[in-house]
Amino acid sequence: MSAPAPSSPASAGLAEGAHPTRDAALSVLLKEGEATASQLGVSVQVMRRHLRSLEDDGLVEASSSHEGPGRPSNVWHLTALGQGRFPDGSETFALGLLHTLTESLPADTLELVLRQQAEEKAAEYRRLIGSGPLGQRIERLVELRRKEGYVAECRRDDDPAAIDTTAWVISEFHCSVMRIAEQYPVVCDQELRLIRHTFPDCAVERVHWRLEGGHSCGFRIAPVAT
């Protein structure tokens, strides 16, 4: 198997400005499902460096293969975030669906649907992040959000005016539903509700909001004294 040329149709859908060898590797993995570094073209050592870089960016993952003699080799495949580098039209579909809902159903129906979706998603998050210390749970949530296409990070609240020094702040610099939220701000209410249901033992407040001119959406999470 050889890597496609950077101008191939598969790689043309990738973000501009990326490294052509990285794009070619992503395109092969998209078409083939999985591949080793030696199957992705160019020098194996060079490709391994690119794959590690792509792994650091959350775009690919490796699993160990024991086929054939010698040491196990890594077999690489795209993550959900890597799949998201290729246009899929789901955002356009979602906008159309929301438009249909708001035009054909009672005014509060969309809010009710989003509220139910937030509660169901929060239950899934709670299951995946477990019941450890708050900081550990928040870090796990941020990692889950990154895999869903968010550019997110978390930190301890460093506001000198804050009374509660055990609080954390989640910042999301890229939102996977930003275009949808611009037309339907009620989606942002769902996001806040989602975080609150994910941490029912905490007080959660929005501290930054891109729709109000912020450079990120931010949520302050503070444990509630029992």
In single-letter form, the type of residue at position 89 comes to: G
Q: What is the pTM of this model?
A: 0.55
For the stretch 201-222, pLDDT in tens is 999 998 876 656 666 788 999 9
What is the longest distance spanned by two Cα atoms in the chain? 64
Domain ranges of the chain: 9-83, 90-223
pLDDT, greater one: 221 or 5: 221
Residue whose token pair is 């870090």: 139
Number of helices (H) and strands (E), helices first, in the chain? 9, 6
CATH 3.30.1380 applies to domain 90-223: yes
For the stretch 83-93, pLDDT in tens is 777 765 666 77
pLDDT, greater one: 1 or 181: 181
Beta bridge partners of 202: 223
Rounded mean pLDDT, 16-21 = 62
CATH number of 9-83: 1.10.10.10
Calculate the CA 220 to chain-centre distance: 19
Q: Is 216 helix (H, G, I), strand (E, B) or coil?
A: coil
Q: Which of 87, 55, 94, 53 is nearest to 181 (CA)?
A: 94
Q: How far is CA 78 from CA 30, 85, 161, in A?
A: 7, 10, 44
For the stretch 81-117, pLDDT in tens is 887 777 656 667 777 877 787 788 787 887 788 889 8
Q: Is 41 helix (H, G, I), strand (E, B) or coil?
A: coil
Tell me which H or E stretch contains 154.
strand 151-156
φ, ψ (nearest 5 deg) of residue 199? -120, 70
In angstroms, the CA 34 to CA 69 distance is: 20
Q: Is 151 helix (H, G, I), strand (E, B) or coil?
A: strand
Length of the chain in residues, anyone?
Answer: 226
Please report, in angstroms and rounded to a whole number, the separation of the first and last CA atoms in the chain. Answer: 60
φ, ψ (nearest 5 deg) of residue 87? -60, 135
Q: How far is CA 81 from CA 6, 60, 164, 212, in A?
A: 20, 8, 35, 27
Q: Which of 116, 136, 112, 111 is nearest to 197 (CA)?
A: 116
Provide the pLDDT confidence category of residue 164 given band limits of 50, 70 and 90.
low
Q: Is 28 helix (H, G, I), strand (E, B) or coil?
A: helix
